[in-house]
Amino acid sequence: MTTFTIAIGSDHAGFKYKEAIKAMLLAEGHTVKDFGTYSDASCDYPDWIRPTAEAVARGEFQFGIVLGGSGNGEAIVANKVKGIRCGLCWNEQVAIWNRSHNDGNVLSLGERTVTLDEALKIVRTWLATPFEGGRHLPRIQKIEQA
């Protein structure tokens, strides 16, 4: 099994799943850095999501995982960081497409939208899916360089 370096972050609404996903990843041998939040006390999600995405963009981690109540705001914040391709995934098929078609490097999940069992399966599937390559990535890189 391939192991990865993974940055993970959430707001209070994604805290429970973040902790469970982090435990699963560590048990499977991945290297994980938790960028917070560190409790379920109400907080502003950009404070935790942006540093997670920035660490991936700087190349400190191969992948990132961000969580919130719906995952929508987290994906928006992550995608504002140059070099991040964050996808909100609500099932395993969407996770496959995010990685294989879009070369996603950050996964966003909503704790209020999927069960914990589904979230763990989505993470495993997302990490196991390679990018198929193709014509899209060079265009993305050209846009980022402009």
Which residue among the candidates 12, 30, 101, 136 is catalytic per the annotation?
101
55 and 64 Cβ atoms separated by less than 8 Å: yes
60 and 34 Cβ atoms separated by less than 8 Å: no
| 101 is an active site residue | yes
Give the integer Cα–Cα distance in Å for 101 and 26: 27
Residues 6+ apart with CB under 8 A from 129: 95, 96, 99, 100
Catalytic residues: 101
